[in-house]
A and B are shown apart, each in its own frame.
Chain A
């Protein structure tokens, strides 16, 4: 197993240029989309089958009365505990030797279970080929010693690419520096391997709480209840079976069988 690769998106450096969004579309040969009016410069309200990197423009009212304009290049989180991967019944979604989560277009049969299993709503269904689509962490690039297209294109190094431990260390230093400068709400999202989902291999530095960016504060693996739910189903089966047994063994016009 090779060392884990990661992307660290430092939103404090983002200028909202969307070079990452364009580079992603170009490298992955994604289709043109008619932008959906969101009331901001954001092109789409959320990830689509043709948008794997999406720059979010969030206006947050601060107590001082000012509006903070928060810019965030959002992407698939490549979760250490990935709901989409656990859901996929064909093995099309799998983890690469680098820890990233790839989606093999040849294996996908379009059941869409992954679409409903992402706590962030990342995976989208492409009606054209009938398969699911998401950021692959530029798998073809990383398998050839290159970094993701978005990281390459970012002019401010807001998106950094490297080995996970190195990036986490950098991120922690950066948060401390920001806090020292008075940015009290600076926080990491997904950097902690003991945190939610085992940590995210595409993690972030945010300038406000996650819900400001429409990110879940404490995302959970959707499949965490499989055992409990299955046991409850078995319990129901026992009850129903007993009922049927009672009905068929009970008082009839005499018993015995042939």
Chain B
């Protein structure tokens, strides 16, 4: 067979002096990089994705994985990946797929924003000694509260509030379907959501019965493929999300290769085993905003008026789209920036379509305020939230809560290798191969994810304390407490943030 002219990305190497031939690397690698040659471990380095599973499980620390030092002649314009992709396309005629959010060098606005702190004129607050409130309610809020006087002369609520979902902190897990990730990975998310008082989201793959005990912390998703959707499913969680788009692949539907669809996934999705699950690009009953309104209200009718979230990708005209979504009756608008993750997307789409969440969020929050409808829906910001600082900055720009997905997978072993679409994830996350998924013990890894959520909770409280505020709602949309460094005037204007020094 013709040998590929696309050089391997990584070089896996074993120190033969240290190697004790225990074969753990062979056993652990989901990519078949290693094989047994009778007297030593053989290496097929072209299959290596640098997920580092072998490195961590080698008892002798004999393995090193390095970026392939052999490069094409360096060229400031034609990058290694440009040339490599061209060669791959010449060999296959296909679209190179990828997983994960975009890893390209676009500006990261979060890294150009700094948070304020108190000095002298207002005191900072010590979160270890004073209450510090992160509780967040997602859902439509009235513009004004209707009150009446009770018999005791005290004011009380007149009528009912629209349904609200309580979060212990302004964080949810982004949708990741069963199929794209393993059931064990979903169980880690579900257990953590329940323990931490937050939400996980089924993604578009239906709801496995093993997750039913966690239903009070689950959002069920309805996407264009309508996988696993039935009335019980719609009513299983605390809210329903209509997925219009995804930041990593705006304008195109989900791609779940048949390799990742064994019996159990097929049953949950209500599709045949081994068929590719390709969601249509649009929802074929939503060709315009009034169609969306009909679906929102159909779902509300079917669920006795549970909150409905609408997830959209951050595209150029996101502010107007979000305004339409709110006016169509959504209780939550979930905005996914172009850095948002994916299990599988064509690289060309992932790396070149959409806009960053920072711009999109600022534009949406501004637009909804200009139109006087910001109270009508909560905003969830997603697409590349890497730390509690990113979360705090997103909330200050105007989000009610942020969603994380990649960050959660990283606690399960993910190293962002970006090969989720192959179904070979050695960490048992984005695979359905039973020998691999068995590695991901939900109990063990839930503990790690719970640790992460608790750590962010502490960090957010420290940030609030330094800001001299003791409730998250005083950070939400409070752009006065952000400053930009090295941003141009127009970007600052879009973000509604002053430059540092002002």
The answer to whether A and B come from one shared complex is no
